[in-house]
Structure 1
């Protein structure tokens, strides 16, 4: 028997899933999986993966908007391809997407292109903002998590090797070598 599944996603913990889940219930979804995770890739989205693994031929996967499913055209195409192989229909409640129809498939492709375009624009704006902040001297990046002076002290004063230093400080050996190199101290 075919089942209608819903998938809801928000990007951050402070966002609410209630509107999406209610919309999916109203659309007739019997089972709804929801998660708070970035849509930039499928990595770390266990609820989506669970659905993709569980869906059977004849089932329908419903989302409120396509950008809840994927933010890149490649990811969207991969998901749609996997759904098609399984004989699963994809629908969106707020967009005319229904992979059973030619018009629905065409609209899906257009939405995927626009979602990726929006992501790329956001990334460009972020990089422009970082460049402007660096030019003003207010952006310095992430604070270093390694104290090169401590690495040097352990190497010179305590005669520890790179592996022992890495273990003691909880860092990688390559980081130890970089820190020693910064002091002009070959390891």
Structure 2
């Protein structure tokens, strides 16, 4: 007996904070019908670094889908690492007789035996190549934006560190202890340095300009 065609939703959550619930709800709100048992979720998987066939549930997806089934994804970039991986995977599913649909924009890519007309197949392939290319370009832009953001933060931190100067080798409690000792009659610099685990030069700088020492601690939030 021929098995009843099924719709399988594939969900990729790239971070531990993401869940499949949002993508499942979005798909059902868009009118797609599928059983909970046919929701395949990959957790904590980077779409940039991991091919679909190398993901735990990606392998299961290839085993589960049969001719006549429908693969549903939020967008084409869910099922591949890069342009070639996405394109190769979708073409593999189409050759298997699986229809691929997207929740966003409700794109539909039918297998050859459904379309039959060579012109329709050519049009499908052209649209597929275009959409996969757009997804790849968006992924590249997102990576570059993240990299730019990280570089900006690091650059700002470096500039802030330069503005603050060298981090003090003592905390506020130590500074107060040193100042108390220096206030005594005939203070011994070497003993003060030893007792506070500081160098004699540091203690002498504090004695020479305690205000600078205090300002330095404030710049570093100490």
Per the TM superposition, whether the score is higher than 0.5 is yes
Distance 1:68 1:6 in 2: 11
Structure 1, unmatched stretches of 5+, are 139-187
TM-score by length of 2: 0.53
Count, aligned residues: 139
1:33 aligns with 2:43: no
Decide whether the 8 Å contact of 1:97 with 1:107 is kept in 2: no
Moved more, 105-114 or 13-22: 105-114
Match of 1:116, SS?
Answer: helix
Deviations 1:74-111 (A, max 9, x none): 11111112102211110112223211264665443322
1:42 aligns with 2:54: no
Larger helix share, 1 or 2: 2
Decide whether the 8 Å contact of 2:51 with 2:81 is kept in 1: no
Deviations 1:90-140 (A, max 9, x none): 0112223211264665443322111111222233334445655676674xx
Distance 2:124 2:55 in 1: 25
1:62 aligns with 2:72: yes
Structure 2, unmatched stretches of 5+, are 159-222
Q: Residue 111 and residue 133 in structure 1: after superposition, are their counterparts in 2 closer, same or farther (change >3 A)? A: same
Q: Residue 133 and residue 28 in structure 1: after superposition, are their counterparts in 2 closer, same or farther (change >3 A)? A: closer
What do you get for the CA RMSD once the two structures are aligned? 2.7
Q: Name the larger-Rg structure.
A: 2
Q: 1:116 aligns with which of 117, 120, 136?
A: 136
1:21 aligns with 2:24: yes
TM-score by length of 1: 0.62
